[in-house]
Structure 1
Amino acid sequence: MIVLKNITLRRGTKVVLQDASVTLQPGEKVGLIGRNGAGKSSLFSLLAQRLQSDAGDVSIPPRWRMAEVAQSMPETDQPATDFVLEGDTRLMEANAALAAAEAADDGNAMAEAHQAIAEAGGFEARPKAQALLMGLGFRIDQVDDPVNSFSGGWRMRLQLARALMCPADLMLLDEPTNHLDLDALVWLEAWLQRYEGTMIVISHDREFLDAITKVTVHLDEARLTRYTGNYTAFEEMRAERLVQAQANYAKQQERMAHLQKFIDRFKAKASKAKQAQSRVKALARMEKLGPVLTSSDFQFEFREPVSLPNPMLAFSMMTCGYDGVPIVHDINRSVLAGQRIGILGANGQGKSTLVKTIAKDIPLISGEVTEGKGLSIGYFAQQELDVLQLDDGPLMHMVRLARDVGPPGREQELRDFLGSFRFVGDMVTQSVGSLSGGEKARLVLAMLVWQRPNLLLMDEPTNHLDLTTREALSMALNEFEGTVMLVSHDRALLREVCDEFWLVSGGEVKPFDGDLDDYQKWLLETSREMAKAAREAGSAKVKAQKAAASAGKDDRKASAQQRQKAADQAKPLKTELAQVERRIETLSQEKANIEAAAAGAGVSPAQRVEQGKRLKQIDVDTAAAESRWLELTEALDALSPP
């Protein structure tokens, strides 16, 4: 087990931990949460022995193998698969032992090294590494491309795959979802649910934490508090504690009254029904968790727009892309006042391209965009933090914004406004380059709010926000009276804000008929279809290679011996492959039976709950079985004689 006892840890003059204690049992999956700057990453460094505590004791089993995602950007021409393979430290040690034994011409050592390689899964390692890469969104034709050929976000995915490759007893994951889209995120959740070791994860994605953790450790005020349960359970338990200690949260009540007023006003209007329902969900959440949100020292709201043109935008045969190359084309849609649109789609399909075109960051390739009179766009881009002037302070940014964009404001008014975003005192003149990622994101939000837009285009706005700031953003967007178009992998934000979804896929933008759960089911179904196609292609490839191997051989005896050796090695793999195929078929049939039973009459609520739980487990088991199928077919493919 991991035991931290009376730990004190300082970073410079800041006390990160003060007399903190916590115990974690083997195999527990732990969410480490706390505000930006609380010291979560410092605690990881302490566990990884990069830092030493100033007082207290840290106890970790000495033989435990540890894995974590390196935060540095890899710079190498190594093929992607080889880079990921190096994450398997046990296999790398066995390979190094074999090289040393061969150099010393030590037969016994070579035999032991070969045995170690077999025990480390050396024969299955390459297919396993490639399965990890494809699960994280890489195409099969990319798995051997040089690491340096990928962009920064994809190289961070390579670092994640390298960490997952390690046969670790303890895995430390610091914001593993930041560079993932929903497709890869859903796959990662399923993988981590199957992981059997001890895991500690830092994440600001509440649904991700809920899916994979059973214990929550809260780092707050230099103390560690352990809660049994996932993030939602922690939130509810903490809310109960705060209710006992805090009787008055008037401002929260005012916000709830504001939402209730909107619901009462519009719930009977068909044109506003979806928006009213969105506010109902937000109100229910505020009633349940109001004390938690009130405990945060950061809340904000978007100002009432000057006007609400309707429609705000109309697209006619719009085609978007870069340098004249289309990515999404022939878009014919309208954006109406008050809509809450979530934009879904895998990385590279064109979500950001669409948003950038609407924001006029990149030119339209063809077609027309008609803007409503008085349209005012507020745009939060993925790279918005990079365009801040790093040498200037928040106040200088606001002065420029008020002067060049508007609305105008006096310096004291701008200072007061920044104060509402937690920029107080000397912070208003502190260089932006010295601010944390979360503080920079808050400054961008402040600049967005100041402009009083009626259409918000938000492309991954939560990447640098902690959980409390994400909650504040969710509430602010729900109260916003204008239109929201949102690209995000934060499913909690999408659920709480969006009433409808657009799917960007295959070069088209279409309405998605369903909610976020339906989208995740669609992703799983698409993944299964791809796996099926890969199985069929793999089988055809194996047959073709066997046919080619059996033709044109001069030395038939050598060929026969080679085939016999391959057949002996392939026999246990084929046996397991047949078992996996039967397992997939059984799971598929069980799922069909449950779905048929659920559609029938006379199913009690308790039975429906159990059916839902079993269907979710079947999806997880099927994904695992299909992943193993791919590994086995790759291994069999490798054994086919040339």
Structure 2
Amino acid sequence: MIKFDKVSYSFPQKDLYTDVSFTIEEGQHCAFIGASGSGKSTLIDIIMDPEKYVFDGNVEMEPSLKIGYVSQFSQRDKDKETTVFEYIAEEFIKLENEIATLCAEMGTSDDIETLLEKYQEALDAFDAIDGDNYENNINKKLNAANLTTHKDRMISELSGGEFKLIQVIKEMLNNPDLMIMDEPDVFLDFENLNSLKNLINSHKKTILVITHNRYLLNHCFNKIIHLENTELQEFDGRYIDYNFSLLQTKIELQEMAIADEEEIARNEELIKILREKATYNADASRGRALKARVKIQERLEANRIKHPFVDIKQPYINLETNNEIEEEIIALKTDNLGISFDEVLLQNVNFEIKSNDKVAIIGTNGVGKTTLLKQIFKNNNDAIKIDENIKLAYLSQMQSEVVNESNTILQEFYDVGFETYGEIRRYLGRYGFSSDILTQKIESLSGGEKNILQLAKVSASKANMLLMDEPTSHLDIYSQMALEKAISNYKGAILMISHDYHFIVNCADYVLLIEDKTIRKMSMRKFRKMIYANHFDKDYLQIEEKKKALEMDIASALRDTDFERARSLSEKLEEIIKSL
């Protein structure tokens, strides 16, 4: 269906791909993974419109290939009020009306031949998307996504997560040969994430999905395309098996790399000895021996083990505060808080957060989580009490609310209070932003890079209470792990919205559940039981936690160059993977 052959592509400031090759066959469900900013969305853009881009290499696609696309950023036409059913059925209704109009015209026109041709084209288009059964097909998809009751709701009434699923359904029913989705899981609650899984698995045609979501990766795909460090590799099989294969390769290659380093060090010592001898004795044979040894060293250096999919650098994320509070205080308290707009969102909300608490707000899409967080940050409601020693910082799921996307990266951090270019370069260099891209506009960054930039800005504020709305959104798996570590080390309070089960379990002391227009505190034990009962399989989640813990232990063993332990742990990991 699609073939990339040795494709290379660069921006002025950055090489994205070097001789990448892969194929997508009909019927495959492909996951497209890689670090934030590695160029996944750009490669999708090339597939969507190859004529627009200047690249080296060859891209082959079937000429009649019909592509459906769901963007990572949901957009609604606010001027076009319509129901869910009408929105999904837009193409079907349009063709129905066109066919009816052409029938009417044929009854009165003399140019029957032209009208018949248009009529047949419209019929063919209607048939290609199974138009005769479209109402039944829409009902089936809505049922698979647990959205049957939303059929007659207005699009404007949907939450962001619900609208994302409706977009997926609409594109699927238009029957594309290839369905492309760019991070469709972002901001989905637990129930909607399961609905997305069901939609992907029920789709019989080819799918290519950019995602960092482990749950989807483990349950939806039979091919992995991995873009990293300007190179690409493809794997036919499950993500679980690919990830294990990558880990095995890492153990083998790092063991070989240690041997290489030892050989290089030994050779360096020989060169040093030969140079010293050549200094005192200019014998031609000594010169030849030195030259030969230098050539051997050059060859060893050139062949030093390096693998782009093993040397994946976990980004640096640090959350700093200048105002650590030694004695625990109540940082934030609400007293019968109510929030209303056109209707009551929240009422009788009472909770308190201490100065070292890490708390996750959970609830279905659209219940008012983001609105609550914004109200706390504005701090202009008498029912919200924030201690005078507390300084707040805010991270938004709508990245443009925190960073000015028309600014360059450099300008954004001058505006924060950094005084010199060198200071900014050193600070952002730790977060993976090279000096080459500091003059780049923020709008040109990937979603994950913008989130890392937000985290860098939040940290620079040195606040001692962080309000974080979906902090893992758009972040690759390595960045998510780095953020978990940063939250664990943070010496302040955090109130965060998240729909990522593993992130919540690893980072939160307890959760605040928004339900029935109010909030109740829930222990992590009760949270787990609720998730097991309502959303995800208990055995899967517990096995996945054991699997992740083993992966971390293997990484630790590799850091200590304890390869025997790494291999032993890897055998245990293989047994766990078999149970998945």
TM-score normalised per structure 2: 0.68
Is 2:68–2:180's contact at 8 Å kept on the other side of the alignment?
A: yes
What is the distance in 2 between the residues matched to 1:363 and 1:134? Answer: 42
**Would the alpha carbon gap of residues 15 and 391 (structure 1) be closer, same or farther in structure 2, given more than 3 Å must change?**
closer
**Would the alpha carbon gap of residues 224 and 384 (structure 1) be closer, same or farther in structure 2, given more than 3 Å must change?**
closer
State the aligned residue count: 478
**Would the alpha carbon gap of residues 149 and 482 (structure 1) be closer, same or farther in structure 2, given more than 3 Å must change?**
closer
- How many angstroms does 1:142 deviate by? 7.1
- How many angstroms does 1:501 deviate by? 2.3
Structure 2 residue matching 1:301: 3-state secondary structure:
coil
What is the distance in 2 between the residues matched to 1:417 and 1:494? Answer: 28
Letter in 2 for 1:35: A
- How many angstroms does 1:459 deviate by? 0.6
1:336 to 333, 341, 354: 354
What is the distance in 1 between the residues matched to 2:515 and 2:527? Answer: 17
Partner residue, 1:43: 43
Residue 3 (structure 1) aligned with residue 30 (structure 2): no
Structure 1 residue matching 2:367: 3-state secondary structure:
coil
Letter in 2 for 1:207: Y
Partner residue, 2:90: 86
Alignment of 1:200-599 (within 5 A): 200-246=208-254, 295-296=312-313, 298-303=315-320, 306-313=324-331, 315=333, 317-322=335-340, 326-359=344-377, 361=378, 363-364=380-381, 367=383, 369=385, 371=387, 374-390=389-405, 392-402=407-417, 412-425=422-435, 427-428=437-438, 430-512=440-522, 514-515=526-527, 518-519=530-531, 521-522=533-534
Partner residue, 1:638: none
1:125 to 108, 114, 134: 134
Partner residue, 1:602: none
Is 2:396–2:402's contact at 8 Å kept on the other side of the alignment?
A: no
Unaligned runs of 5+ in 2: 258-307, 538-575
What is the distance in 2 between the residues matched to 1:45 and 1:230? Answer: 25
RMSD over equivalenced CA pairs, Å: 4.4
**Offset from partner CA, 1:561-605 (integer Å, 9 cap, x none):** xxxxxxxxxxxxxxxxxxxxxxxxxxxxxxxxxxxxxxxxxxxxx
Letter in 2 for 1:192: I
Partner residue, 2:269: none
Structure 2 residue matching 1:355: 3-state secondary structure:
helix
Partner residue, 2:24: 24
Letter in 2 for 1:442: I
Structure 2 residue matching 1:302: 3-state secondary structure:
coil
Structure 2 residue matching 1:333: 3-state secondary structure:
strand
What is the distance in 2 between the residues matched to 1:148 and 1:329? Answer: 23
**Would the alpha carbon gap of residues 344 and 56 (structure 1) be closer, same or farther in structure 2, given more than 3 Å must change?**
same
Letter in 1 for 2:70: V
- How many angstroms does 1:458 deviate by? 0.9
What is the distance in 2 between the residues matched to 1:248 and 1:64? Answer: 45
Is 1:502–1:510's contact at 8 Å kept on the other side of the alignment?
A: yes
- How many angstroms does 1:509 deviate by? 0.7
- How many angstroms does 1:217 deviate by? 0.7
Is 1:79–1:143's contact at 8 Å kept on the other side of the alignment?
A: no
Structure 2 residue matching 1:315: 3-state secondary structure:
strand
Is 1:308–1:375's contact at 8 Å kept on the other side of the alignment?
A: no
- Larger relative contact order (CA 8 Å, sep ≥ 6): 2
Partner residue, 2:185: 177
- How many angstroms does 1:345 deviate by? 0.8
Letter in 1 for 2:394: Y
Partner residue, 1:33: 33
**Would the alpha carbon gap of residues 447 and 524 (structure 1) be closer, same or farther in structure 2, given more than 3 Å must change?**
closer
- How many angstroms does 1:140 deviate by? 4.6
- How many angstroms does 1:433 deviate by? 4.6
Letter in 1 for 2:34: G
**Offset from partner CA, 1:400-452 (integer Å, 9 cap, x none):** 4448xxxxx88755542232123343644555455444333222211221233
Letter in 1 for 2:21: S
Percent identical pairs in the alignment equals 22
Is 2:335–2:383's contact at 8 Å kept on the other side of the alignment?
A: yes
My pick for the range that moved more, 426-435 or 237-246, is 426-435
What is the distance in 2 between the residues matched to 1:480 and 1:13? Answer: 33
- How many angstroms does 1:196 deviate by? 1.7
Structure 2 residue matching 1:178: 3-state secondary structure:
coil
**Would the alpha carbon gap of residues 8 and 294 (structure 1) be closer, same or farther in structure 2, given more than 3 Å must change?**
closer
What is the distance in 2 between the residues matched to 1:312 and 1:380? Answer: 21
TM-score normalised per structure 1: 0.62
- How many angstroms does 1:202 deviate by? 0.6
- How many angstroms does 1:44 deviate by? 2.2
Letter in 1 for 2:398: Q
Letter in 2 for 1:66: I
**Offset from partner CA, 1:278-328 (integer Å, 9 cap, x none):** xxxxxxxxxxxxx98973162122236622552434535331425696422
**Would the alpha carbon gap of residues 424 and 205 (structure 1) be closer, same or farther in structure 2, given more than 3 Å must change?**
same
Is 1:133–1:143's contact at 8 Å kept on the other side of the alignment?
A: no
**Offset from partner CA, 1:509-544 (integer Å, 9 cap, x none):** 11346345733642599xxxxxxxxxxxxxxxxxxx
Letter in 2 for 1:470: Q
- How many angstroms does 1:487 deviate by? 0.8
- How many angstroms does 1:163 deviate by? 1.0
Letter in 1 for 2:27: G
What is the distance in 2 between the residues matched to 1:196 and 1:211? Answer: 15
